Amino acid sequence: MVRRNYKITRQQKKIRDAFVSERTVEIIPAKREFTDVKTKKLRVAAYCRVSTFDESQSGSFELQKQTYTERINSNPDWIMAGIYADQGASGTSIKRREQFQQMLHDCRCGKIDLIIVKSVSRFARNQLDFISIYRELKALSPPVGIYIEDINLNTLDMNSEFILGIMAIVAQGESEQKSASITWSVIERFKRGIPMIPTHNLPVYTKDHYGRVMIEEAKAKIVRLVYDSYIEGMTVSEIASFLMTSQVLLTRI
């Protein structure tokens, strides 16, 4: 018993002495087994898309391209792999987007490491298209990632597939809802006699303040005169000469 207590006391003393006394510790530097290797620069591309050629969207389209060009070129770890841009292309189908298809081709050829896109809906609004493309790019050797800006997510991250699956479902739902709303609007307009007919290319027709198509009688008289004259046997040149002699206004008719 006495011997056991002695051992315990001696062990405790050693521990105390280790904390109290300052010991010189020899530090052995680690060996450099590997030489420094410069990190490979990523070949980065960007994809932009707007669905119409409207002036407002055209401005946004150009802004997207210029912004991505500046961002990629200003990053010392990136190499510009291209700006792929589709204007007047719907997000519901990827087959009609020429630049998008070219981008996928370049990925398969090993020319791109990372794609930057503003949102899931800019990339694809069809869930099946998005998931299949995402998985194909990830399975390439080396894999190609998609960086989605608005959710700050890289598809090469471990949890990306679960998150992107949810996002794709939401994007597809929004697209289907918008399409259904437009279809409903067109049907309701036709029910009320308000067809979706642009009259700016139909000079004899106009619209009233309710949106109903109406005939402009002043212009319609000239059109009727031309047709009646042709039926009566006049040639096209004779009709044109008659209209010029009569000083009939021919603008947009």
Q: Which residue has the tokens 């990339």?
A: 123
Contact between residue 116 and residue 149 where contact means Cβ atoms under 8 Å apart: yes
Confidence of residue 58 (pLDDT cuts 50, 70, 90): low
CATH 3.40.50.1390 fits 42-173, yes or no: yes
Range 125-134 average pLDDT: 76
Is it the case that residue 32 has pLDDT exceeding 70? no
Output the six-digit token pair for 53. Answer: 């050629």
**pLDDT tens-digit series, residues 146-201:** 999 988 989 898 888 788 778 767 767 777 887 888 788 778 777 777 666 666 67
What is residue 112's predicted lDDT score, i.e. its pLDDT? Answer: 96
Q: What is the pTM of this model?
A: 0.52
Range 214-219 average pLDDT: 84
Range 231-245 average pLDDT: 88
**pLDDT tens-digit series, residues 77-118:** 999 999 999 887 665 667 788 899 999 999 999 999 999 999
On average, the pLDDT of the chain sits at 79
b/e per residue 199-238 (b: at least 16 CB within 10 A)? eeeeebbeeeeeeeeeeeeebeebeeebeebeeeeeeeee
Is it the case that residue 142 has pLDDT exceeding 80? yes
Q: How far apart are the first and last CA of the chain?
A: 121
Domain coordinates in residue numbering, the chain: 42-173, 205-245
> What is the C-alpha separation between 239 and 243, in angstroms, rounded?
6
Decide which of 2 and 239 is more confident. 239
What is residue 34's predicted lDDT score, i.e. its pLDDT? Answer: 46
Decide which of 45 and 27 is more confident. 45
